[in-house]
Amino acid sequence: MRTIAIGIFLFVFFIISIPLFLVETIIGKINPHAKVKSSQAVVVWALNGMLFISGTKKTVIGLENIPKDEAVLYVANHRSYFDIIVGYTSVPNLTGFVAKKEMQKVPFIRVWMRYLNCLFLDRDDIREGLKMVLDGAALVKKGYSIWISPEGTRNQGKDLLPFKEGSLKIADKSGCAIIPVALSNTDAQLEKQTPWVKSAHVIIEFGKPIYPKDLDKEQRKFLGSHVQKLLQNTLDKNQSLV
């Protein structure tokens, strides 16, 4: 029932999106920053609607760890399609996220993603990967945070998959803080009984900021591994809260 309700909600949202795209285009011609802000407000409203329909109970920990006046790189584990829904409705700043290139083929969603400064990654193309890092660093310098999942794919295992070191270079090149994001039990909403959506209690914890320039040489060289260990510790700790 929840699955059908979410499908109907998304259909209605896509219909509403058609005139909203025109409004956002007009706003963007006047003030590009305002366009990102208003687009994120619309998308967050829609995602909150999905969380409500799905019966999600969300516990948010560590919002005080996110710097108030600077863009950051959110580095999260990836368990479910619901990760970005839970995460995007929790972040306090303007944020785009890194998605696989196939998302560019999805009607309506791809438009909103472009409005939100999302980046599309071709994991098989090294040159495109480097371009994504440079584009991400440029966005951070303009004041827009970036959300990335360095595991590269959804993983419902207890242990994290190895982080792709290159994905964290956005922080290295922009000088921004890395905020580890631990997502627990999001796969209970969908992946454990695909295609049916079920209610679940999910945990999202934002860790303390990590500035690459403040790390020692070894930690900075293996930045992905360093952040992965911190994230794994948080996930293990929060298992008892689910």
- Residue 217 has a pLDDT of 85
**Mean pLDDT across the stretch 157-172?**
86
17 assigned to some structural domain = no
pLDDT digits 0-9 by tens, 56-75? 999 999 999 999 999 999 99
Q: What percent of the chain has pLDDT over 90?
A: 76
Bigger pLDDT: 139 vs 121: 139
Q: Which element (helix H / strand E) includes 59?
A: strand 57-61
Average pLDDT of the residues in 121-150:
90
Give domain status of residue 103, yes or no.
Answer: yes
pLDDT for the residue 221: 84
Amino acid residing at 61: I
* Nearest residue to 234 (alpha-carbon basis) of 148, 150, 157, 160: 160
Total domains in the chain come to 1
Residue 223's nearest CA partner among 168, 144, 142, 186 is: 168
With cut-offs at 50, 70 and 90, classify the pLDDT of residue 133: very high
Q: What is the CATH number of the domain that holds 118?
A: 3.40.1130.10
The reply to whether 118 falls in a domain is yes
Convert 146-203 into a string of H (helix), E (strand) and C (coil). EEECCCCCCCCCCCCCCCCHHHHHHHHHHCCEEEEEEEECHHHCCHHHCCCCCCCEEE
Residue 234 within a domain = yes
Domain annotation covers residue 30:
no
Report the predicted TM-score, pTM, of the whole model to 2 decimal places.
Answer: 0.94
pLDDT over 90 at 163, yes or no: no
pLDDT recorded at residue 222:
85
Structural domain that includes position 144: 55-241
What confidence category does residue 111 fall into, taking pLDDT thresholds of 50, 70 and 90? very high
Residue 235 lies in a domain: yes
Q: Which residue has the tokens 């090149």?
A: 173
Is 3 part of any domain? no
Whether 123 shows a pLDDT value over 80: the answer reads: no
- pLDDT band at residue 24 under the 50/70/90 scheme: very high
- The backbone torsions φ and ψ at residue 7, rounded to the nearest 5 degrees and listed phi first, read -60, -45
Sheet holding 145-148, edge to edge: 57-61, 201-206, 177-184, 72-76, 145-148, 95-100, 119-121
